[in-house]
Structure 1
Amino acid sequence: MKEHLLRNRNFSFMFTGRILSNMGDSIYYVAAMWLVYELGGSAFYTGLAGFLTMLPTVLQFLIGPLVDRFSTKKLLTYVQLLQGCLILMIPVAHFIGYLNVAVILTIMPVVSMMNQFTYPAQTAALPRIIKKEQLVKGNALFTFAYQGVDMVFNALTGILLPLIGAITLFMMDSAVFLAAALLYSALRLPEKKSTPKRTLKESTLQYKKELAEGVMIVFRSYLAIFLVASIVANGAIGATYAILPVYTGESAGASWYGWYLGAISLGLLSGAALAPILTRFPLGLLTIALFFLGGGSWIFSGFSGVSIMGAVLFGLAWLPIGATNIITGAAIQSILPSHLMGRVFSVVASMSAMAMPLGSLLGGSMADRWGSATIFIVAAGAIVFISIFWLSVSKLRRLPSTHELSAEDLHLPENSHSTNIG
């Protein structure tokens, strides 16, 4: 099935483009966070950098209606071009003698904002280019590209940082985004249904209507219950990303920062690889078991310190996140009408990620007071919380396997033209 998917021209082009986009994101994020740590010398600055980088994710729900309306090909192409140009500004600032923490903290959120168009556009396009029964494997391959590239290039960037420096990495990164733009420009996607031309006022009213519809669908369905646990967990994850350069750098250095980021990607990638197998189990019980084991692994990692064992245990803690993201995402894709994909997924992404910027800012601030190792272990408790929360909510605990999951189970509109959810 994977070979068949990769023979699909549009899927293979988008898959390769995703690899290049994620390669660019990995290089940029690791290099930028480490440069902020070097220039600022404090966990507060890395926390602030994480806050500013993650903040645009909260606004992703505003992008959903735009993704549903505009050309996926143009969106993906132009976003990559803009990111490449923005990232090139950092080496330029360095060469003219104006590079400082403020410059990086200004560019990071703008690049992140551009990136918010990429994943909803790809998610919304996937059901249009592959068959319904291929969605789990298609999403697994996309996640493999995402996390596999992250795993390799997070670690590789950490290794290259002391060898060639962050500035050289930023110049290479700009070229990677240009290559991704060229690849996306070669896509031949099925045309979306044409919409009548509207005045600016009519377009604004329609945008508000579609935006409200996405919010309504999420909060009238059981997706709203999913979000409770996700918000708590993402706050802890945001704090972890913020303190990770300090946690590893204080005792090991840039290379260990890369290895720990690589461990995250390896855990997520392993979960994605297992997702097609795990779909046979009831979603509720599966989530409870996986997150309990993952949270325990993270706690033991914290007590192991920065080491090979600590990195392995830390990576295992991310396996349930990778698996359940794929399984639930594919299930929702198979249930929702295609014209609602962008707005619903962007609302879910925005709401679930809203705690990450705050977690990053608070994590960086608290690490200066209590130490990064303490924050690292406390954050693990949020993963255990997901298990406990799902166990305590009968609607979640009793969810069947994704093969048996229906729109009624999640109180979502069925894959038809109707959007009435009662």
Structure 2
Amino acid sequence: MSLAKNNHFKTILTIRLLTNIGDSVFFIVSMWYIANHADLAIYAGIAVFLFTLPETLLIFMGPLVDRINPRKLLMLSTGGQIIVHGLIVFLFLINAITIPFLLVLLMFSAFFSAITYPIEETMLPQIVQGHELVKANSIFTIAYKIVDSLFDGLSGILLVVGTASLLYEINLFIFVIPLIILKVIKFNIKSEEEEKFDFASYKSDLKEGLMFVLTSNIKLMLIPLVFVNFFTAINTVALLFFSNTLTETASTYGILLAVSGVGSMLGAILVNKLEQNILPGRILTFGLLLNGLMWLCMTFSSAEYLAYLFLFLASFCQGAYNIIFASLFQVMTPVNLLGRVNTCVESVISFAMPIGAIIGGILIDIIPLQLVMSFNTISLVITSIIFFLNKNIYDLDKIDRIHAESTATHP
């Protein structure tokens, strides 16, 4: 069945897009509100810490993703988002919002958001044929990058003319729509091993997923990504303050994120063609290298248009190699382990991000911003060298061939 006629694929994609709209608006509004109502940069670092912390805990959700109906889990996570946003709106209405309480609610929102991604990634290989998996992942990335880019820029602009309270109210209604879709539209995707939960099976499943990651080629790509993501978290904090060196309006921050989203989207579009002619290991290696160099150019750009250009190019490379990473992790994993492996991967590569966010908030207050941002280039270049020297990564076969071999080995 082609993707255009695959109703399961379209339903999941629609839910992903709506969730991404809510996440995008929530992140922009929250970061901007905290940066402009807190005295120190460390609060922005704490915000990113709390945004990224739930991803490090996803490994413990893996067995549940494999054993519980995905539709039920998506409904629970969406319902959680509605409760969190309802509380934020209520606190704004009674003028009782505080930075500490907002930070706590951010963590809960981030958790409910984070769990949706491994659920959807686990479902995707089960509803899409192997030769269309890269294309399906690209469509997912392209679609939500379009949404991210549009609403990142729009949120920044709306913050100039509106209020954070108003945008939180709008976001509350955005999260209601996926819940309605999940209640009204029935799709027959089930977990591979839907059973009643018991703790003994949970521990066994958790261990099985972790051992698969540690004994497969997946671990060769994961360890360097922990290093990269540490500095990515630092830059997530730094980018907000970098935008203020260009102009001091919320729209600039929104535009920077929008440009980044457009670059990632175009990288995701073109990688499907690139992967047909270039081995995935080469795309990873040179994509990381070019990303680092373009980021360095952006860091030392004094003009807005140059910063936008180099950030676009850096994000283009990142968008391309992220699709390759996602597809490789999926095709290297047996279907019955997808939930556990996907959540394990998310947890491991996100492990250093909360720490990086806190350190970023501290460093920005004590050393030059450009030096803090330059660390990202160093991490990307070092990782590209590691991948170049590791032939198990650099010489990886085509993704569809890996999928065929994995299917034959783990039917």
TM-score, normalization: structure 2?
0.94
Q: What aligned pairs does 1:347-366 form with structure 2 within 5 A after superposition? A: 347-366=344-363
> d(CA) in 2 for partners of 1:192 and 1:348?
19
Change over 3 Å in CA distance of 1:277–1:194 after alignment to 2: closer
CA contact (8 A) 2:17 2:144 kept: yes
Shift in Å at residue 140 of structure 1?
1.0
Q: Helix, strand or coil: the match of 1:117?
A: helix
1:77 is matched with 75
CA contact (8 A) 1:248 1:306 kept: no
Q: Helix, strand or coil: the match of 1:405?
A: helix
CA contact (8 A) 1:297 1:317 kept: yes
Aligned CA-pair RMSD: 2.0
1:34 is matched with 32
| 1:319-378 per-position Cα deviation (integer Å, ceiling 9, x unaligned) | 232222222322342342211111001101110111111111111110011132321222
1:237 is matched with 232
Letter in 1 for 2:380: I
Aligned length: 408
Shift in Å at residue 232 of structure 1?
1.1
> d(CA) in 1 for partners of 2:219 and 2:328?
16
Shift in Å at residue 415 of structure 1?
5.5
Q: What aligned pairs does 1:215-364 form with structure 2 within 5 A after superposition? A: 215-252=210-247, 253-280=249-276, 281-305=278-302, 307-364=304-361
Structure 1 stretches lacking a partner, 5+ long: 418-422
> d(CA) in 1 for partners of 2:246 and 2:40?
15
Letter in 1 for 2:398: S
The equivalent position to 1:379 in structure 2, one of 372, 376, 386, is: 376
Q: Which shows bigger deviation, 262-271 or 172-181?
A: 262-271
| 1:119-160 per-position Cα deviation (integer Å, ceiling 9, x unaligned) | 111111112222222211111111112222111111111111
Letter in 2 for 1:367: I
Shift in Å at residue 297 of structure 1?
0.7
Q: Does 1:207 align with 2:202?
A: yes
CA contact (8 A) 2:70 2:189 kept: no
Q: Does 1:416 align with 2:410?
A: yes
Q: Helix, strand or coil: the match of 1:317?
A: helix
Shift in Å at residue 386 of structure 1?
1.9
The equivalent position to 2:165 in structure 1, one of 159, 164, 167, is: 167
| 1:29-72 per-position Cα deviation (integer Å, ceiling 9, x unaligned) | 11001111111032111011101111111001111111111111
> d(CA) in 2 for partners of 1:93 and 1:75?
27
The equivalent position to 1:397 in structure 2, one of 390, 394, 409, is: 394
Change over 3 Å in CA distance of 1:197–1:52 after alignment to 2: closer
Q: What aligned pairs does 1:11-22 form with structure 2 within 5 A after superposition? A: 11-22=9-20
Letter in 1 for 2:147: V
TM-score, normalization: structure 1?
0.91
Q: Does 1:98 align with 2:92?
A: no
CA contact (8 A) 1:151 1:266 kept: yes
Shift in Å at residue 13 of structure 1?
1.5
Structure 2 stretches lacking a partner, 5+ long: none
Change over 3 Å in CA distance of 1:385–1:193 after alignment to 2: closer
> d(CA) in 2 for partners of 1:196 and 1:356?
33
